[in-house]
């Protein structure tokens, strides 16, 4: 299946949120496109830029997913991640 973004989709935060969901489902290419679109829409949106950089470094999205889980657990107060 192919994933295509509507070029008129106006919200960088929504693109970023969709990218996070796609990473959790191992859809790395689609997540990359979401993060790229978010950065195009709002170049100063740091979370999307950081996620895109992390994806480009890891290639497979595993380190980004690990970071997301850590961040989620830290915000919930648990602060632990199982490897």
Q: Which residue has the tokens 């949106």?
A: 45
- For 4-17, b where at least 16 C-beta lie within 10 A, e where not — what string? eeeeeeeebeebbe
Of 72, 71, 70, 74, the residue nearest 82 (C-alpha)? 70
- pLDDT tens by residue, 19-74: 999 988 989 899 999 999 999 999 999 999 999 888 888 766 666 666 665 665 44
Radius of gyration of the CA atoms of the chain, in A: 13
């Amino acid at each position: 299946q192919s994933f295509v973004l509507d070029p008129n989709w106006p919200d960088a935060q929504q693109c970023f949120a969709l990218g996070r969901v796609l990473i959790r489902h191992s859809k790395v290419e689609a997540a990359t496109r979401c993060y790229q679109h978010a950065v195009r829409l709002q170049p100063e949106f740091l979370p999307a830029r950081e996620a895109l950089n992390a994806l480009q470094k890891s290639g497979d999205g595993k380190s980004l997913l690990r970071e997301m889980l850590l961040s989620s657990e830290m915000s919930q107060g648990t602060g632990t991640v199982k490897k």
